[in-house]
Amino acid sequence: MGVADLGLPVDVPSTALFTDHYELTMLQAALKAGTADRRSVFEVFTRRLPEGRRYGVVAGTGRVLDALENFRFDEGVLEFLRERRVVDEETLRWLASYRFSGDVYGYPEGEVYFPGSPVLRVEGSFAECVLLETVILSILNHDSAIAAAASRMSSAAGGRPLIEMGARRTHELAAVAAARAAYIGGFASTSDLAAGFRYNIPTVGTSAHAFTLLHDTERDAFRAQVDSLGRGTTLLVDTYDVAEAVRTAVEIAGPELGAVRIDSGDLLLVAHRVRHQLDELGAKNTKIIVTSDLDEYAIASLAAAPVDGYGVGTRLVTGSGHPTCSMVYKLVARAETSDPEAPLVPVAKKSVGGKTSIGGRKWAARRLDEEGVAEAEVVGTGPVPDELSDRQLLVQLIKGGEVLAREPLDAARDRHAAAKAALPLSATQLSRGEPVIPTEYVKSGSGS
């Protein structure tokens, strides 16, 4: 299934330069040394979760698949590399025909992960795999950070809908990716039309304070909005006096008024007052939406408030204090020769200071307790134990360069909801703590 089959209307441009200079110089040196064709295995993982986080969320996988398909060095890109003398002519000739022809395995999008989880495994020649490090990490680190923040906010919201509205707080293209990741993490809609266009995410929006200020009176503004958008619209009631605005809103729209939005003040106190006022005015079904620099903690503090939905911007698109997951892309196994049948040898950097890694081509499985609740993330090399064979987490995403696992975004969203529900209840706590389940390592066999 291709992008067009999913009805996605925007093609991804060439991603060949979404990479670091040294990846191309490594390629040149490996080509000259005769080691570029050695079969290699790279893995993406994080050594630790951001402080206080109990689990991570895999997001961006679909965008990675797009990026790998569009990793092409066209004439303009090659000429740029030639003019800058980044690599020599032999390497440029190799790049001109570059097409990733290897295999990719990974945690399916929306799945949760923990320290050491091999969330993505890329297999092929060293040359074709090493070039992909930066683009893969930039996508997964950004999108997974946003999805994790969204997941925490969704838990804090307790089933009340969340609107992603952070486009004005980040790069215009990052905003589209953030809306996609937030949807996977549990948000119901976005204000960003580009995200709706690209990924078919529901979009919502009505008016800002500027619309009220444009008119001579608040009543004129409300009347214009209701006349245009209908009684089911959402009226912004905190431009001047909230109580007077609520009274005016119900007078104009009647009890059919869809919602009011509160964007400032003591949201807990104001929400209670507005709910009481709406009920007294007969607008018992009118919902209350709150915005104003919310994060998961502010949302949790409003759990007892008569709030029907939340709009979240800045804190969401910046990962609620953790804008990256610190994922890395490491060579964990490689062949000793360029023979395609040569066995793989585990390799790992020897380091101190928390940067150690474990060599070998890995599998991962989640062990459940007797009640079906996750109790450990098991990561290993060699044969998978029989008792874990049906709990393996990695699926094949690309085979021989061909994408196998594209799926609608709702599939990733539903998968995340199911994965989170299978974690211990403490996973949704916002208090600081360790990962909700431990990572256990099982070592047997070789890197192959």
- 171 and 41 fall within a common domain: no
CA–CA gap between residue 268 and residue 340 (Å, rounded): 64
For 155, the domain range is 150-321
- 268 and 190 fall within a common domain: yes
- 173 and 304 fall within a common domain: yes
- 163 and 211 fall within a common domain: yes
CA 180, 182, 184, 186 torsion-angle sign: negative
CA–CA gap between residue 383 and residue 376 (Å, rounded): 18
Would you state the pLDDT for residue 1? Answer: 44
pLDDT tens digits for 49-76?
998 899 999 999 999 999 999 999 999 9
Residue 448 falls inside a structural domain: no
Domain containing residue 215: CATH number = 3.20.20.70
CA–CA gap between residue 133 and residue 145 (Å, rounded): 18
DSSP-assigned letter for residue 342: P
pLDDT tens digits for 70-125?
999 999 999 999 999 999 999 999 999 999 999 999 999 999 999 999 999 999 99
Is residue 3's pLDDT more than 60? no
Mean pLDDT across the stretch 186-197? 97
Residue 447 falls inside a structural domain: no
Q: What is the value of pTM for the model shown?
A: 0.94
Would you state the pLDDT for residue 445? Answer: 54
Average pLDDT in the chain: 94
pLDDT tens digits for 123-176?
999 999 999 999 999 999 999 999 999 999 999 999 999 999 999 999 999 999
Would you state the pLDDT for residue 19? Answer: 95
Q: Return the percentage of the chain with pLDDT > 70, whole number.
A: 95
**In contact, 106 and 406? CB cutoff 8 Å:** no
Structural domain count of the chain = 2
Q: Which residues contact 217 (CB under 8 A, 6 or more apart)?
A: none
pLDDT tens digits for 225-272?
999 999 999 999 999 999 999 999 999 999 999 999 999 999 999 999
